[in-house]
Chains A and B, each alone.
Chain A
Amino acid sequence: MNIQVIIPLVIFLIAIFAIGFIASKQMTSTGGFLQEYFLGGRELGGFVLAMTMVATYGSASSFLGGPGTAYTVGFGWILLAMTQVVTGYFVLLILGKKFAILGRKYNAVTMIDFLKARYNSPAVAILSAIAIIIFLFSAMTAQWVGGGRLIESLTGLQYTTALFIFAISVLVYVTIGGFRAVALTDAVQGAIMVVGTLILLIGVIIAGGGVPAIMQDLLNENPRLVTPFGADGTLTAAYVSSFWILVGVGVVGLPQMAIRAMSYKSSRAMHRALVIGTIVTGFIMLNMHLIGVFARPVMPGIDVGDKVIPLIALEVLPPWLAGIVLAAPMAAIMSTVDSLLLLVSSAIVKDVYLNFIKPEASEKRVKIMSFGVTGILGIIVFLLALQPPDLLIFLNLFAFGGLEAAFIWPIVLGLYWKYGNKHGAILSMITGIASYIAIHFYNASYGNLLGVHTVTIPVVLSLIAYIIGSLAIQRKAFRF
Chain B
Amino acid sequence: MPAKQTPPDQYKPDPRFKIAHKEALIGVALAIFNFIWWYGFAYGLGSRPPEEYTYILGLPDWFFYSCVVGFILMSVIVIIITKYVLKEVPLDADPYADPNVTPKEESPTK
Range, interface on chain B: 35 or more
Please tell me if the beta carbons of A98 and B21 are within 8 angstroms of each other in the complex.
Answer: yes
Instruction: Judge if B101 is at the interface, Cβ distance under 8 Å.
Output: no
Please tell me if the beta carbons of B75 and A282 are within 8 angstroms of each other in the complex.
Answer: yes
Please tell me if the beta carbons of A215 and B59 are within 8 angstroms of each other in the complex.
Answer: yes
Within 8 A of A (CB), among B38-86: 38-39, 42-43, 46-47, 49-51, 53, 55, 57-60, 62-63, 66-68, 70-71, 74-75, 78-79, 82, 86
Q: A228-B42, A480-B13 are in contact. Are A97 and B50 (CB under 8 A)?
A: no
Partner among B21, B43, B55, B108 whose Cβ is within 8 Å of the Cβ of A212? B55
What 0/1 pattern do residues 54 to 83 of A give for CB contact below 8 A with B?
Answer: 000000000000000000000100110011
Kindly specify which of A88-96, A132-140, A351-359, A382-390 makes contact with the partner chain: A88-96
Q: Inside 8 A of B57's CB, which chain A residues have their CB?
A: 211
Kindly specify which of A163-171, A273-281, A363-371, A453-461 makes contact with the partner chain: A273-281
Report the number of A-B residue pairs with Cβ-Cβ less than 8 Å: 152
Q: Inside 8 A of B42's CB, which chain A residues have their CB?
A: 79, 228, 237
Q: Inside 8 A of A82's CB, which chain B residues have their CB?
A: 38, 66-67, 70-71
Q: Inside 8 A of B90's CB, which chain A residues have their CB?
A: 266-267
Please tell me if the beta carbons of A241 and B26 are within 8 angstroms of each other in the complex.
Answer: no
Please tell me if the beta carbons of B20 and A278 are within 8 angstroms of each other in the complex.
Answer: no
Q: Inside 8 A of B62's CB, which chain A residues have their CB?
A: 228
Please tell me if the beta carbons of A271 and B86 are within 8 angstroms of each other in the complex.
Answer: yes
Please tell me if the beta carbons of B5 and A477 are within 8 angstroms of each other in the complex.
Answer: yes
Q: Inside 8 A of A264's CB, which chain B residues have their CB?
A: 91
Q: Inside 8 A of B59's CB, which chain A residues have their CB?
A: 211, 215
Minimum CB–CB distance from B31 to chain A (whole Å) comes to 5
Q: Inside 8 A of B71's CB, which chain A residues have their CB?
A: 82, 85, 282-283, 286
- Considering only CB atoms, which chain B residue lies closest to A475 in the complex? B2
Partner among A78, A98, A210, A278 whose Cβ is within 8 Å of the Cβ of B63? A78
Minimum CB–CB distance from A354 to chain B (whole Å) comes to 20
Instruction: Kindly name the residue among A83, A98, A214 whose own CB sees the greatest number of chain B CB atoms within 10 A.
Output: A98
Q: Inside 8 A of A104's CB, which chain B residues have their CB?
A: 91-92
Q: Inside 8 A of B92's CB, which chain A residues have their CB?
A: 101, 104
Partner among A78, A210, A480 whose Cβ is within 8 Å of the Cβ of B14? A480
Instruction: Judge if A25 is at the interface, Cβ distance under 8 Å.
Output: no
Within 8 A of B (CB), among A221-241: 223-224, 226-229, 237, 241
9 pairs of A and B residues whose beta carbons are closest in the complex: A211-B58, A93-B27, A98-B20, A223-B50, A228-B46, A282-B71, A97-B20, A104-B92, A212-B58
- In addition to A98-B20, A100-B91, A215-B59, 19 A-B residue pairs with Cβ atoms within 8 Å of each other are A78-B63, A82-B70, A83-B38, A89-B30, A96-B23, A97-B20, A101-B14, A211-B59, A212-B55, A223-B51, A241-B39, A266-B88, A267-B91, A275-B75, A275-B78, A278-B78, A419-B2, A476-B5, A480-B14
User: Which of A's residues lie within 8 Å of B, judged by CB?
Assistant: 75, 78-79, 82-83, 85-86, 88-90, 92-94, 96-98, 100-101, 104-105, 210-212, 214-215, 219, 223-224, 226-229, 237, 241, 244, 248-249, 264, 266-268, 271, 274-275, 278-279, 282-283, 286, 415-416, 419, 475-477, 479-480
Q: List 11 A-B contacts (CB under 8 A).
A: A92-B27, A97-B20, A97-B91, A100-B91, A212-B58, A271-B82, A278-B78, A282-B75, A286-B67, A419-B2, A477-B5
